[in-house]
Amino acid sequence: MLGKKLVTAQKRGETRALCLGLGMVACSMMMYFFIGVTIVPFYTKSVWTTETVCKVLKANIKDKVLCPNSEGSEDEDIFPYPCLQVWVNLTALGQEVMLYQTEDTLERNPKCSYVPDKLENSKEVKAQIETIASNFKTHQTFPCYYDPGGTQTNVILSRLYPPKGLLFAFLWPTLMFIGGCLIIVLVKISQYVSVLSAWQ
């Protein structure tokens, strides 16, 4: 009687462990799909892949401009802000080009180097942009990214999804997938050993 209870409990434990392993594998596959749909296209679409050194030539704050809203957004998403334009000397090619914060900045407003997040207080936005401009004037040499193919003549300060960020995004689903596979393999080994012991 006690042996039957132990066998039943063992089978229940194996079933739960097997379900856990399959669930981990399924979740990792969903995460792979989500990353492949959201992050990977932005990474492959970016042409600013080569790092070089940029030197600031001028950083000017022009009159306020309207942040153009994206397609499908409401009019309240448009807000005025001072337009910061930073021009740098691209040491790799020796050209004077405009600097943008990220790839997204160029898409949102190609006239400005920095597009702030929407803030209710216009004084905070102005102070933020003035701080960024003073930082460029203080630190005039810094690494930046340019397009080696020449399709884009401008440069960006940082990539939204650098190679390290992409590898880090794939790290957790990979660990979950490996863990789920290990649990399934261990359960199958345990079942094989149990069958072998019972047969002997």
Give the range among 23-27, 66-70, 164-168, 187-191 with minimum mean pLDDT: 66-70
Domain annotation covers residue 68? yes
Q: Is residue 27 part of a domain?
A: no
Residues 132 and 72 reside in one and the same domain = yes
Based on the fold, state whether residues 55 and 136 are members of the same structural domain: yes
Distance CA 4, CA 163 (A): 55
pLDDT range class, residue 187, cuts 50, 70, 90? confident
What is the distance between the alpha carbons of residues 87 and 140, in angstroms, rounded to a whole number? 11
Residue 29 inside a domain? The answer is no
> Would you say residue 26 lies in a domain?
no
Do 171 and 135 share a domain, yes or no?
Answer: no
Q: What's at 55, amino acid-wise?
A: K
In a domain, 8, yes or no: no
Q: How confident is the model at residue 70 (pLDDT cuts 50, 70, 90)?
A: very low
The pTM of this model reads 0.69
Closest to 32 (Cα-Cα) out of 180, 179, 176: 176
Q: How many domains does the chain have?
A: 2
Rg (CA), the chain: 27
Residues 169 and 87 in one domain: no
The verdict on residue 45 lying in a domain is no
Give the pLDDT of residue 92.
Answer: 65
- Asked whether residue 84 falls in the same domain as residue 156, the answer is yes
pLDDT in tens, 42-54: 888 888 888 888 9
Question: Within this chain, do residues 119 and 142 fall inside the same structural domain, yes or no?
Answer: yes
> Which structural domain, as residue segments, surrounds residue 58?
50-161
List CB contacts of 48: < 8 A, sequence separation 6 or more: 103, 145, 146, 147, 152, 155, 156, 159
Q: Is residue 116 part of a domain?
A: yes
Helix/strand/coil for 117: coil
Same domain, 111 and 191: no
How high is the mean pLDDT of the chain?
81
Of residues 6 and 65, more confidently modeled: 65
What does the pLDDT look like over 82-109, one tens digit per residue?
889 999 988 766 788 999 999 888 888 8
Q: Given pLDDT bands bounded at 50, 70 and 90, which one contains residue 128?
A: confident
Going by pLDDT thresholds of 50, 70 and 90, the confidence category of residue 156 is: very high
Least confident span in 4-13, 66-75, 111-120, 130-139 = 66-75
55 and 144 co-located in one domain: yes
